[in-house]
A and B are shown apart, each in its own frame.
Chain A
Amino acid sequence: MIDTLMLSRIQFAANISFHILFPMITIAMCWFLVYFKIRLHTSGDPVWMRAYRFWVKVFALTFAIGVVSGITMSFQFGTNWPGYMETVGNIAGPLLGYEVLTAFFLEATFLGIMLFGMDRLSPRLHTFSTVIVALGTTTSAFWILALNSWMQTPTGFEMRDGVAFPVDWMEIIFNPSLPYRLAHTLIASGLTASFLICGLSAYRILKGDNKRAPKLTLKTAICVAAILTPLQVFVGDLHGLNTLKHQPQKIAAMEGVWETQKGAPLLLFALPDEETRSNHFEIPVPKLASLILTHDSEGEIKGLNEFKNEHPPVAPLFFGFRIMVGIGMLMLLLAWVGVWQLIRHKTVNTLTLRAFLVMTFSGWIATLAGWYVTEIGRQPYLVSGILRTSDAVTTVPASNVGLSLTLYLLVYVGLLIAYLHTLFLMARRAVEIEEISPQEQNDLTPTFPLHSSPMHRSPLLVKEPTS
């Protein structure tokens, strides 16, 4: 029997899962765009402009989908989760408000200037607009993660008559899990954007694009990925320790630990079974879970049986966590192979290019898996210890929620297909475009020297500057 609660949960999950795909790209990609613009200014090499122009189109499309799918979120709390605003509205409201005020207007307004104002602004002012958009997207991530983290680890408030009232805003915003979640998510965004850039650049090169721009963007993104992957492992570990301290039941579910035990093994695989409250087909590595989580091979891990009826469903967390970590390991491996090849051969071979192409959207899968772990891991609560999800749901009839959910799903599937199709279409088109169009040549020749090596120049550009 699917009721309003279940339908509303699926709808919220569908909306947020679809939405998050796009900000995860744009938050970090905008900093890539800033980097391209800065390299353009410092080197004067127009290839950076070419890189910027390709990726700003991807950025614009991604950003637009992110914005419109995000508007939905601001209505969802009221349409489906009235109990949320009733209970914690005093805290959630202002945090969302600050996101709108300090981030949404900033990024939206300067995005218009950045996308369409290049002919109307000086180059430096245009780069400045790009920086503002990047700051806006990052600020937006900060506020929404502050709220999300507060829902996981609420502090700085008091309950009066079943309603949360703010006591200390600094404690609310900088709640215990915020620093880890913020760092973990921002790095995840960096990885998502890096692997997208690697993937599409590799695709262009594999399609016979012999220009410098895709090679440069590939190289840049590989280097960023190679730095960020180990950093992410480190931050992820800290985040896990933080979760162990504040939400031990979440860790127990992630690790599939039923009974509290010392020297708990790390399960490479298992089938958790909530009926029998045990695992089937375990493949354990002795004592490793304790070692990772407590940094002591005999450390104690609290089991799920200590939190009966208060712990999240085990299987989604157990598998979600393994998917996230598995993809992270693949990313680490591939990024380092890429860097190694770049150092040894100044270029990456076809096999590696293909691997990058396969991994184009790996960031999305890892992000979604990770978010499911942390969000389902908060259940049965909507706000840890304060508000149960089932107490917050609307009284709107299930048929209406079913209808809206169906509409959303249709739209999202259609848009996802269109988005992927368009990205690869844009990449194939870019293969055919000249390295530097004659128009740009005229624009740039007087101010910038050309550094491109002759063999990569198109015939149009081989002529010497007339000055």
Chain B
Amino acid sequence: MTDTTWLHMFFGGLMALAILIYAILDGYDLGVGILMPRHDVQQRDQMIASIGPFWDANETWLVLAVGILLIAFPDAYNLVLKELYLPATILLIGLIMRGVAFDFRAKVSLDNKNMWDNIFKAGSLVSSLAQGYMLGQYVVGFDSSGASQGFSILSAICVAAAYSYIGATWLVMKTEGDLQKQAASWARRCGWVTFLGVVSVCIVNPIINPSVFEKWFNFPTALLLFHIPLISLALFITNDQILKRIPLEKDFGCWIPFLGVVGIFFICFQGLAYSFYPYVVPGKLTMMEAASATESLEFIFIGTVIVVPIILCYTALSYRVFWGKATELKYY
């Protein structure tokens, strides 16, 4: 343990935090995009209104996560993006299309609005699938065998379902009336798909990664991890029970399912991070091996310590400003 290890740990932790926040925040707005109904313009408008003020900042967390990978672990950054060249391209094109569709839809004629809404939906879906596929490939160490491809496709579906799940619960929190009821039923369905996805990833991951198997089934440390499956199961079930009863009396507690999914994301992410620590690329590069020069890390460390809390403060401020049910999106 050298004196710079803490720096690597700090940036490893910060990157994990950025990825988690990204998955939660952009997760719900990608999910809302995936769920857009084809035949109801009014519902689409309401759904878009609920994510309008946030999507841009949400996406910035992806830039930060990639940015930290680039700054702190340049070798890992090069390796990951080289291996994931085509999925990354597809992800980026998906993000481009949905981002611009969001703005174009508000400014064009009705026919074209339908077109841009379809692009928004497709872009959201493609981006989510691409992210899930990239995650799967990352977990299997960029293996291209049939089994690994199958696992990556499973992971793609799982991530898309999880994003839809958090998106639907976001809508339960931010909307009222028919749309809220509709969202609750979406959320229940996506919840169960997500649950199945998480369970299958949990089964497959230790089988194909011996080191992961050792970590999870090596007593007594495994006992300390017992809370992970237990809490997530509890959260899935509680959420389903609440969603069944939407709309609740006086809308009391409409935010609980969303918070529940945040909890699930947090727990699953914790499990994933535990599986691979201290590797930044599973089985290939540890955080120490991939780290950049100490001088550089120290320089950006100072800025991070000052700026990240400020970012969190004004992010909170923005959620405070748009607190409560989403209102009609007036473009000024």
**Measured between C-beta atoms, what is the minimum distance from A22 to chain B in Å?**
10
Residue of A nearest to B301 (CB): A94
* One of A78, A117, A169, A404 near B78 (C-beta < 8 A): A78
Within 8 A of B (CB), among A386-401: 394-396, 400
B92 touches A97 (CB 8 A): no
Chain B: interface secondary structure?
Answer: helix
Query: B225 at interface (Cβ–Cβ under 8 A)?
Result: no
Given A71-B95, A79-B82, A109-B57: A97 touches B68 (CB 8 Å cut-off)? yes
B66 touches A75 (CB 8 A): yes
CB neighbours (8 Å) of A109 from chain B are: 56-57, 311, 314-315, 317-318
Chain B 89-102 against A: per-residue CB contact (8 Å), 1 yes, 0 no?
11011011101101
A165 touches B293 (CB 8 A): yes
**Measured between C-beta atoms, what is the minimum distance from B278 to chain A in Å?**
20
Residue of B nearest to A49 (CB): B332
B78 touches A113 (CB 8 A): no
Partner-binding segment picked from B214-222, B264-272, B321-329: B321-329
Given A101-B308, A109-B314, A115-B53: A93 touches B74 (CB 8 Å cut-off)? yes
CB neighbours (8 Å) of B70 from chain A are: 74, 77-78, 85, 89, 93, 96-97
CA A109 to CA B56, docked complex, whole Å: 7
CA A422 to CA B86, docked complex, whole Å: 31
CA A395 to CA B318, docked complex, whole Å: 43
A60 touches B103 (CB 8 A): yes
CB neighbours (8 Å) of B100 from chain A are: 61, 64-65, 68, 415, 418
CA A300 to CA B90, docked complex, whole Å: 52
Query: A340 at interface (Cβ–Cβ under 8 A)?
Result: no
Query: B108 at interface (Cβ–Cβ under 8 A)?
Result: yes
CA A78 to CA B300, docked complex, whole Å: 20
CB neighbours (8 Å) of B296 from chain A are: 89-91, 93-94, 166
CB neighbours (8 Å) of B321 from chain A are: 113, 117, 120-121
CB neighbours (8 Å) of B92 from chain A are: 71-72, 75
Residue of B nearest to A61 (CB): B103
Query: B3 at interface (Cβ–Cβ under 8 A)?
Result: no
The interface size bin for chain A is 35 or more
On B, residues with C-beta under 8 Å from A are 52-54, 56-57, 59-60, 62-64, 66-68, 70-72, 74-75, 77-78, 80-82, 85-86, 88-90, 92-93, 95-97, 99-100, 102-104, 107-109, 292-293, 295-296, 299-300, 303-304, 307-308, 311, 314-315, 317-318, 321-322, 327, 329-332
Of all A-B residue pairs in the complex, the 4 with the closest CB atoms, nearest first, are A78-B81, A112-B53, A68-B99, A93-B71
On A, residues with C-beta under 8 Å from B are 52-53, 56-57, 60-61, 64-65, 67-69, 71-72, 74-75, 77-79, 82, 85-86, 89-91, 93-94, 96-98, 100-102, 104-106, 108-113, 115-121, 163, 165-166, 169, 394-396, 400, 403-404, 407-408, 411, 415, 418, 422, 425-426
